Amino acid sequence: MPALTDTKIRTAKAEAKPYSLQDGSGLYLEVRPSGAKYWRYRYWLTPEKDGRYTIGEYPVVTLAEARRERERIRELVKQGINPTQEKKTERIRQIHERSNTFEAVTRQWLERKSAKWSPYYLKQATSCLESNAFPKIGRLPIRKVTAAHLLEILQEMEKRGAETYAMQLRQWCSAIFRHAVVTLRADGDPAAALKGALSRPQVNHSKPMTSEQIGDFKARLTAYGGNRTTVIAMRLMLYTFVRTVELRKAQWIEFDTETAEWKIPAERMKMRRVHVVPLPRQASSLLAELKNITGSCKWLFPNFRRPDDVMSATTINRALEHMGYASGLWTGHDFRATASTRLHEMGYRSEWIERQLAHVEGNKTKAAYNHAEYLPERKEMLQAWADWIDTIPEKLIESKKTTSDANLVPMKADARRSAG
């Protein structure tokens, strides 16, 4: 029987019952009463029983394509593979891959991390992945994402000056792939191969302030003509050396005036553990003043443009610039570095200082129960620290003897006028 041609296929008419047009080697075209024409292949895995494999509908699948598929299926049959079963398995695999895209797996991973991470850190990671990774590889099956895909994303971030975020994204991606591997949705971690592929940005470590610099800071803060709540926020940071985000999002309900304690809930802490901050007398006095200003609000430091939100992350940095400090000269972390350095010099035990800084506890079992550990000792230490701060005279640094001093500029006119 001669092989089929496109003309013969196109002119084949429907009949009352299905019939077939043979092309040879098991391939045939089935013409149905509806007029539909389907390519099918007949095969034998055993001499006793044959099988039928549907290749597709004509003309979606052309004659040439049907013949190529016939040859592929013949090779499977030679290997003893049932092509019908293989097709079902492939369909299931494709469905599985579509439901396990990089974005889908990432969101599952983020959901798992939400119980351990602070809302701020979770939002930071989610935003970075949504902005940089999802547009490029979000819809790809995670098994198909390669190191080349990731490198392109990281290099684009590096080019626009986001080196630190690029390095963080690589670490997050590596954790996502490890999660995918243990849940049998990926074979390996392509992000691991990119360790060291990016230029590590220069780290500006937090720097402790000298007594002279603390005196300069106090003088400039006294002369600052900005919002009083911002002044109180910076004084509280100096007295308590909490993280900036912990202070900005503080709520009045967290403070106990009788015990002079501030209990920060676990969900707002970086390491998701309750943290108790003893309040020295100076901090309690500032809070009493602040209560008259923002006591009717939920937050200690509300955003006056958006009352349902808190003070913006840039407010303190802008205030420091208005006080005459070059951008980046001092940050909230520098208050923490200053306290850590000076308290060690004053002879206080490292365990007390580290607990006050809410640093990571190596013993996880112990960490679950010690949020109030060393509390009496820390109360004494915080009061001594605040008293020491108060002994430092307020005096502007006039000379330019150090690199930090060289970054000082005259206070802005409005600040000087308000000081007078």
Encode pLDDT of 205-232 as tens digits.
567 889 999 999 999 999 988 899 999 9
In the structure, what pLDDT confidence band is assigned to residue 55 with cuts at 50, 70 and 90?
A: very high
Please indicate whether residue 359 is annotated as part of the active site. Answer: yes
How sure is the predictor about 359, in pLDDT bands with cuts at 50, 70 and 90? confident
Domains held by the chain: number: 3
One-letter amino acid of 53: Y
Question: Is residue 375 a part of any domain in this protein?
Answer: yes
DSSP string, 226-238: S-HHHHHHHHHHH
Cis peptide before 307 (omega within 30 of 0): no
Q: What is the mean pLDDT of residues 131-160?
A: 92
Last residue within a domain, chosen from 96, 130, 152: 96
Which among 13, 205, 306, 369 is annotated as catalytic? 369
- Confirm whether 215 is domain-assigned: yes
Q: Which of 65, 96, 127 is the last residue of a domain?
A: 96
Q: Is residue 362 part of a domain?
A: yes
In the annotation, is 344 catalytic?
A: no
205 domain residue, yes or no: no
* 262 DSSP β-pair partners: 255, 277
Mean pLDDT of 183-198: 89
Would you state the pLDDT for residue 202? 54
Whether residues 312 and 384 share a domain: the answer is yes
Query: Any idea what the CATH number is for the domain that residue 412 is in?
Result: 1.10.443.10
Q: Which of 96, 98, 116, 359 is labelled catalytic?
A: 359
Residue 14 placed within a domain: yes
Indicate if 89 and 219 belong to the same structural domain: no
93-97, 213-217, 334-338, 406-410: which has the highest mean pLDDT?
A: 213-217
Q: Are residues 231 and 378 in the same domain?
A: yes
Query: What does the buried/exposed string (b/e) look like for 24-50 if buried means 16 or more CB atoms within 10 Å of the residue's CB?
Result: eebbbbbbeeeeebbbbbebeeeeeee
So what's the pLDDT on residue 206?
A: 64
Report which DSSP code applies to 363. -
Least confident of 28-32, 58-62, 369-373: 369-373
CATH assignment at residue 166: 1.10.150.130
**Could you identify the residue written with the tokens 């912990």?**
246
SS3 content of the chain, % helix, strand, coil (to 5): 55, 10, 35
Whether residues 250 and 236 share a domain: the answer is yes
pLDDT for position 318: 84
The predicted pLDDT at position 201 comes to 56
Whether residue 1 is contained in a domain is answered as: no
Q: What is the DSSP string of 370-416?
A: -TTTTHHHHHHHHHHHHHHHHHS------S--SHHHHTB-PPPHHHH
Specify whether the CB–CB gap between 216 and 408 falls below 8 A: yes
Indicate which residue of 67, 74, 149, 270 is catalytic: 270
> Is the per-residue pLDDT at 362 higher than 50?
no
> Which one from 185, 268, 275, 336 is the annotated catalytic residue?
336
Q: Does 313 reside within a domain?
A: yes
8 A C-beta contact, residue 382 and residue 356: yes
Q: What is the pLDDT of residue 200?
A: 63
pLDDT reading at 69 higher than 90 = yes
State residue 84's pLDDT score. Answer: 84
Please write the tens of the pLDDT for every residue from 311-338.
987 888 888 888 888 766 777 778 888 9
Same-domain check for residues 112 and 82: no
Host domain of residue 245: 211-419
pLDDT higher than 60, residue 392: yes
Q: Are residues 82 and 115 in the same domain?
A: no
What pLDDT is recorded for position 414? Answer: 43
pLDDT at 99 over 80: no
* Residue predicted with more confidence, 287 or 203: 287
More confident residue, 152 or 118: 152
| Residue scoring higher pLDDT (395 or 367) | 395
Catalytic residue, candidates 42, 333, 412, 416: 333
Question: One of 179, 243, 268, 378 is an active-site residue; which one?
Answer: 243
Residue 203 lies in a domain: no
The whole-number average pLDDT for the span 86-105 is 81
Handedness of CA 138, 140, 145, 149 (dihedral sign): negative
Percent of the chain with pLDDT over 70: 88
Residue 154 contacts residue 196 (beta carbons within 8 Å): no
Same domain flag for 141 and 181: yes
Token pair 């940095």 is found at 317
281-317 per-position pLDDT tens digit: 999 999 999 999 999 999 999 988 887 889 987 888 8
**270 an active-site residue?**
yes
Question: Are both 364 and 311 inside the same structural domain?
Answer: yes
370, pLDDT greater than 90: no
* The pLDDT of residue 49: 83
